Amino acid sequence: MTTGVALFGATGSIGESTLSVIEAHPERFHLEVVSAHSSVDKLVRIIERFQPKHVILTDQTQANALMEKLPKSFNGSLAFGEHSLAEAACASEVDVVMAAIVGGAGLVSTYAAVSAGKRVCVANKEALVMGGELMMAEAEAKGAMLLPIDSEHNAMFQCLPEAYVVGQPIAGLKQLVLTCSGGPFREWSIDAMAAATPDQAVAHPNWSMGRKISVDSATLMNKGLELIEATHLFNVPESAIDVVIHPESTVHSLVEFVDGSMLAQLGSPDMRIPIAHALGFPDRLDINVERLNLTKLSKLHFEAVNHEAFPALALARQASAEGGDRPIILNAANEVAVDAFLNEYIAFTEITELVSDCLNQIARQPISSIDDVLSIDRMSRQIADVWIRERA
């Protein structure tokens, strides 16, 4: 009996890596559900390769295009619209949900999977940034198992005892240490970054990622979002998390204990490693990735973050410390700002300026449900849109 996987966000980089792991272990996994937003051609190729039982296309305007290109060999079911994701997450045939939809769009389906008590591989950090307190409480109430996919959080998880349950306090912890490559602009001046182009921003030195997360890595907002995510996954305040620049991206993160011991997880910068760890947990899966050769590593470098050049991390720390609606606003404004930058409406350095202004403009509001989260998310995006139009 193989494990049924629901892969939400199959056409992105995490989705592609997940498919590679599934394909390498047909004796362990089968693709039960696959979803894409609008990438019809990529979705069709996935259907041809894996013959999933259920296919979801969330962009309903592309329904006819998918129907026309659907392989004749496909005999499963088709569904359209974002509401179909939540329904699929609850299906009895689904054992594991890979939550890989980028941005706030992945919140509702991730929460649905948690509510259904599934094993949820969390690649969508924004879901925890936006609704972390609600998500973790629901996971505990419904018995869902959350497993981190981000290489940094997965590294921390691997450094903890096998019996550790995500969301519980860590015995003997001193601090968590998030490593960060520094992105493509690590050695750039602020003036140079102000003139950076989208193509320069998405040219990550080590990782192959989507455009949005690549820009987040360039601003270091990605590290800020990861910091917030880590507070929920490992039940620590932001003050217990340090961030250091590590250009080689070999040490994916570290855990320091009160006795002075520091444990690290090392590996090639390949997302198949944390994905295979989460899918197979507690077993280890043999996958064909580049192996580290310790004799060829030469030197590993670590340095402090330049907060003046990269203010995004401080914004995220403040949002995390204040809690409530602040992380929601941070994430929403950042998503709008990154999209505006990629479409050349604003400059690279204006991304964090927009986020800061939105945080300052919006009065605090209570959060008690996912509907509250979505409401604040929508309002924040509207305010960010106005900010951009006024600058145009």
- What average pLDDT score do residues 49-55 get? 96
Token pair, residue 187, equals: 């050695």
For the four alpha carbons of 167, 219, 8 and 45, in that order, the dihedral sign comes to: negative
- Of 272, 274, 266, the residue nearest 287 (C-alpha): 272
Does the pLDDT at position 160 exceed 70?
yes
CA–CA separation, 23 vs 20, rounded Å?
5
What is residue 195's predicted lDDT score, i.e. its pLDDT? 96
Q: Computed over its alpha carbons, how large is the radius of gyration of the chain?
A: 20
252-264 confidence digits (pLDDT tens) = 999 999 999 999 9
The structure tokens 């570290």 sit at: 254
- In this predicted structure, what is the pLDDT of residue 207? 67
pLDDT digits (tens, 9 = 90+) for 174-186: 999 999 999 999 9
Rounded to 5 degrees, what are φ and ψ at 265?
-115, 130
DSSP-derived letter for residue 303 is: B
Instruction: Tell me if 97 sits within 8 A of 29, measured CB to CB.
Output: no
pLDDT-based confidence at 153, cuts 50/70/90?
very high
| Third-level CATH fold of 3-148 | Rossmann fold (3.40.50)
pLDDT, tens only, 276-335:
999 999 999 999 999 999 888 888 999 999 999 999 999 999 999 999 999 999 999 999
- Could you give the angle at the alpha carbon of 68 between the alpha carbons of 66 and 73, nearest 5°? 85
DSSP state of 9: S
Each domain of the chain, given as residue ranges in start order, spans 3-148, 151-267+289-308, 323-392
Distance CA 358, CA 313 (A): 16
- Those residues whose C-beta lies under 8 Å from the C-beta of residue 152, and which sit 6 or more positions away, are 178, 179, 226, 230, 252, 253
| Sign of the torsion formed by the C-alpha atoms of 107, 113, 114 and 118 | negative
Q: Rounded mean pLDDT of the chain? A: 95
Cα angle, residue 216 at apex, residues 212 and 217 outer, rounded to 5°:
115
Give me the DSSP letters along 95-136: -EEEE---GGGGHHHHHHHHHTT-EEEE--HHHHHHHHHHHH
Banded pLDDT at 392 (limits 50, 70, 90): confident
* pLDDT band, very low/low/confident/very high, at 21 (cuts 50, 70, 90): very high
SS (H, E, C) 333-392: HHHHHHHHHHCCCCCCCHHHHHHHHHHHHCCCCCCCCHHHHHHHHHHHHHHHHHHHHHHC
What is the distance of C-alpha 57 from the center of its chain?
A: 20
| Four-way CATH pick for 323-392: 3.40.50.300, 3.90.700.10, 1.10.3720.10, 1.10.1740.10 | 1.10.1740.10
